[in-house]
Chain A
Amino acid sequence: MTTPVLPFPASPASPRTPVYALVGNPNCGKSTLFNALTGLKQKVGNYPGVTVEKKVGTVYSQHGHAMQVIDLPGAYSLAARSPDEAVTRDVLLGRRTDTAQPDRILCIVDVTNLERNLYLVHQIMDLGRPVILVLNMMDLAAEAGLQIRVAKLEKELGIPVIPCEAAHGKGLIELKLAMSRTDLPLPRHRWDIPAPIAPAVSELQASLVENDRKAPLSARAEALLLLTDQDTVRVAGSTTLSERTSEILRSWHKRWQNEGMDWAATLVSSRYDAITRLCTDLVQRDDRSQTAGSTSDRIDAVVTHPLWGWLVLGGIMAALFLSIFTLAEYPMNWIDGHIASLSDLVKDSMAPGDLRDLITDGAIGGVGGVLVFLPQIVILFFFIGLLESTGYMARAAFIMDRLMSRVGLNGKSFIPLLSSYACAIPGIMATRTIEDSKDRLVTILVAPLMSCSARLPVYLLMIAALVPGDQVPILTKVGLMLLMYTLGTAGAFGFAWLFKRTLLKGVPPLMIMELPPYRLPRLRDVILQIVERSGLFLRRAGTIILGISILLWFLSTYPKSPEGATPQEQMSHSFAGRAGRVIEPVIKPLGFDWQIGIGIIASFAAREVFVSTMGVVFNAQSDDEEDTAPLRQALAQAKWPDGSRLFTPLTCLSLMVFYVFAMQCVSTIAIVRRETNSWRWPMFQLAYMTGTAWVLSLLLFQGGRLLGY
């Protein structure tokens, strides 16, 4: 077979920069290579219609020529099983309308695990595009006693093969030199398509060329893929097959089914046969290869031990939880302080009026409301980055899978749910590690039921109002708190169970997960990921949060009361106050009056706003936020119009239960909208959570009344 040469650029008149796609298995060092090649010259976005991250970066050749690299999501095969893999498949096959088919492909493999990594490479070599193969982790292979005959591999495949250590920046110059070659060859590797399948491949290929307007070589690859890909995972924004091609595919499937042939298995086996033949002459093992991976094994003996494993997991989770709770408090207070002084500065330098209030209370307050989430997001993603890049994340999923499977989820939902105890926003952002889209959606839907830190001030105030006297007995306090956390957690698991059985029913996902060897974390990659996630949060969710904060400010400021009104009168007179009265008939059966209604409405900005709103409503503001005593006394004196006590113990409990279940956080709604790419799911979440809250509070309050409380 001759080696066709594709010159690039196609002609000197079109000095277009070549576009490379970077592909590889998960855990093969792909992100590290991408970061090393492109540095900070990365653009992160989304593929329209799917929540898969699209990363594009620029690499400069040794001569300063720019080349584009698209970092495709990690994949084990082009026969996609997750939205991530489906995007990789569709971009490579030129099926996406938003991303042109890449000119060239950069394949990266982990040489310590060559056979399985080559499976994807083998599929990609069929695509009819020039390929560069990067052999990553050469140092680890040498340590493990593996010797790779690079020259032989290059000769067999007919493409440039570049040994590399992406983590140490070794091999990058050679790689860039290869990337800037104008005459990259097409792969020359040949393998035998099993005889019974060959006619189907030819027929499909012809139809793809004719009916789907594909290039002949790419069509052959797609024909092969169609036979293994069950086409179960489709993503929005990708073109579908023509009717004629689908018809041919169906008729072959039917024929093989009748003959009892497993065509997909046959294809996979013949690929692996070709790979095994390739690898036998290629990889040489010395004696040390016997002990390969033993360090990882020693760590795993502890980390997945029936007793020590739980302690390690518990310890790591406690550290994560504590840092989000305590460490984040300093930057959060710092942000609060600076926002407050900025707002004071504006107040001093502008004439009093509506515009000033809009800027200070609406805009600056809203920006503060967005920024204040950043410390928690940064800390959570720092931990997640560390856990992922060391390999511990897969172990945590391994340990927790059994428990999570009881409600139909798998081990990967554990970290996002746990993080949601601190704040649902980073928790929901962390669900991106869950491949199965239904599992991911269920996790997102139930995550806000885990009691987040913003509910804490509300619980504390209600507990204080519930128990007479200045000092709440510590046991009562802890007991009630624990009860609320348990209630939320039980609710989350209960609804997960329900959703997995009804709304988002699907085949139970296989828990096929690679346990990669432990590696030292790459701080640079971790930090880049933090920067990326924070940027995404600020750009996408931040704008919605800011808008709604301004809206809520408007609702509590207008219409204006007559001159000289107290803040209490102003609140009562405003749209928010009126809305409180409007919803009173709905919340009265739960034991809440219109004044509590204002607090519930204001809580949509953030739940902790309830406390300060109650301060305004009951005219019991104190300068010291920590001191709730005046507010508690005011609450104790609050009455219904008929003179009966408003905040009875039963009302307090009912309110707490309402806060456990109700979806009251616009920031969470904004992030769910972003992560699910539609308003449907956040609206569903708002309805089911708030509905549950209403029903449970009603049952509690009316039941309590019947029992004479």
Chain B
Amino acid sequence: MADTVIRTQHASHAHAAGPRPRPIFSRRNIIIYGVLIVLALYYLLPIYVMVVTSLKGMPEIRVGNIFAPPVEITFAPWVKAWSSVCTGLNCDGLSRGFLNSLKITVPSVFFSIAVASVNGYALSMWRFKGANVLFTILIIGAFIPYQVMIYPIVVLLREIGLYGELSGLVLVHTVFGMPILTLLFRNYFSSVPEELFKAARVDGAGFRTIYFKIMLPMALPIFVVAVILQTTAIWNDFLFGAIYTRPENYPMTVQLNNIVNSVTGVKEYNVNMAATLLSGIVPLSIYLISGKLFVRGIAAGAVKG
């Protein structure tokens, strides 16, 4: 211990040759970490306030400070938000929306990725006539404001009898997930060496064989990325859920908004925050668990396009 102190003192006096060691508390580091920490507070504040508020009783919220930690921790708001808070005529809490969201998200993620991965594969490897035009329409379609298409889709869904049903919403999610996912898969498959594809063709492998035997196993990481992207996107959707489902089929986001922004009754802020957290838990855990894959997905999908 004493030895190191002496040595560092010695080093700071003598201007030895070689690169100067960068001290931990250099001005540069203080500025960088200072700015980062201040910005981190902006990002962390809301989730902290949410957690703290959801664990307080209403009397404590009325007299206290939203940033103060709870004096008496109570889980009653969580229980109420999950199982007994009312939206319209239904008083079975957010659990209903949770189940609906699950029933919407799982098939939507599956179908949209299944379709889009085949699309991306067909577009990048097979380049049939009209492929480029089709892909261009698809990508431009991603930029058409949803508002332009929502009503005719209502008419279409009504025609095929799926308006208001969960399956209708699944179809809508599959359709609107197609551009971005197709782009993701097309970019991935375009980076696959062409020799691989040609070799498989020479060996007599067809469209399906190449997809299932070569491309699918190779593209597993990008499938994981797609699952992460789609699950969060569909779980978080509000607009389509609000338009294409009946109240008893509302996904969690729509139900949550109806609970918190309802004008009737006394506002129970702790229940509201517990409900908000509950509907954020699924995408948040996906994000925290998937970590770098989530990041890689965003970067791969956007930068290479």
Instruction: Answer yes or no: do A and B interact.
Output: no
Partner-A contacts on B (CB < 8 A): none
Partner-B contacts on A (CB < 8 A): none
